[in-house]
Amino acid sequence: MVNWGVFNPFEARLWQTCQIIAVRFLRHPGTVDLPQLASMLSLVQGEHLLAVEPARMRWLKSKAPSPYERATYRDAIGIDSVNDIKYAQFGLAMTDEMSRHYAKKDRDLGQGMLTVTEARVAFERPGKRREQICYEEITRIDLVAEGVVEIETNTGTGGSRIVVEFHTPWASLIFALAAVRFFQRHPRLLSGQWLPPGFEEYCERLGQPCAPARRLAMGIAGS
């Protein structure tokens, strides 16, 4: 049983991130005890709620294309935990919505509710249409600050690039969910810098060892 009282909220989410990535996606033995989460998102077969929490979303000006080579999930680790998810169900709606709202200037969409699953990231605000991104549609992803993940897709009008930021304590989880499947040569996976330096040792000192997601992800990235 994890003693959550020894962690601050950000550390607790990093600990959960390591457990989710290592056990569900990198074949580390163990279980992931996900809390009972509530979300307005309609899940498809095989999809699970991994995190639901308030967050902030920003549209950014388009940046340079990604230099990182993508690969398929099966190429990376030989399994597919979400066999039945039909990404196309999400893609068309997401493309229409993002194309409609995309602007040439940075724009802060403010606070909303962020939902993270194995298949996608969704952002919802009262009275507004849902914004969502499927991991397989991402062309570039990076952690640009603590608790900030930046994502680029080519799903704008005419294949134009769309760049967004999510400000959330689940930024490392979002990054890892995309990177271990589609960006195995990403510098942050190769270096292990998607987690804070010494995080595993810190957890050990608190008596709450975390799953070795950093080491396992580096093994995939270096293979």
* pLDDT surpassing 70 at residue 221: no
Angle CA 34–164–82, to nearest 5: 35
pLDDT digits (tens, 9 = 90+) for 119-178: 999 999 998 889 999 999 999 999 999 999 999 998 776 677 889 999 999 999 999 999
Cross-strand bridge partners of residue 110: 57
Four-point Cα dihedral 24, 175, 181, 220, nearest 10: -80
What's the fold here for domain 4-222? PH-domain like (2.30.29)
The pTM of the full predicted model, rounded to 2 decimals, is 0.81
Torsional sign, CA 169, 152, 134, 192: negative
For residues 152 and 155, give the distance between their C-alpha atoms in angstroms, rounded to a whole number: 9
